[in-house]
Amino acid sequence: MISVIISGHGDFPIALKESSGMIFGEENHLIAVPFFKGEGIQTLQKKYHQTLQDIPKENEVLFLVDIFGGTPYNAAASFIAKDQRMDMAAGINLPIVLEVLSLREHMKLKELLNHLKKMSQQSFQVCSEHLEKVKTVSEEKREDEL
């Protein structure tokens, strides 16, 4: 099992956890650790340390953070550097959290991270590109009908 710690600036991690709960229901081993204005990296590291104490030692741990290189990322990196059962993904969103929740019992951590890299490229979509494709298909159909 992979335990998941969602972290980021402000209420972002709390909102992601609540939103995923609307879709998946309450999930065990899914913890939101917010980083609030006025807190420093040491405060966040203490929050992470407390959270990690409640995670079974046999579980792998995946940190999901909002910004690569931000304080939540840097605070988690110090734990990951010391423990091979931990890793992190940055730049997360709700589709990534949902994907993690659906696969974390069936994959090892490194396998899941490789999957997420591919999935995130596919989930990022630009509306105008899709509209252009629809327009092109419609025009081709009209030409075929003539």
Residues designated as active site: 9
pLDDT over 90 at 97, yes or no:
yes
> What is the structure's pLDDT at 87?
97
Q: Beta strands 2-9 and 86-90: pairing type?
A: unpaired
Residue 126 DSSP label: -
Q: What CATH number should be reported for the domain whose range is 2-145?
A: 3.40.50.510
| Location of structure tokens 């997360």 | 92
Q: From 96, 90, 84, select the one nearest 60 (Cα to Cα).
A: 84
Structure tokens, 109: 């951590």
Structural domain boundaries in the chain = 2-145
- Is 101 in contact with 27 (CB distance < 8 Å)? yes
Is residue 68 within 8 Å of 40, Cβ to Cβ? no
- In this prediction, residue 130 has a pLDDT band, given cuts at 50, 70 and 90, of confident
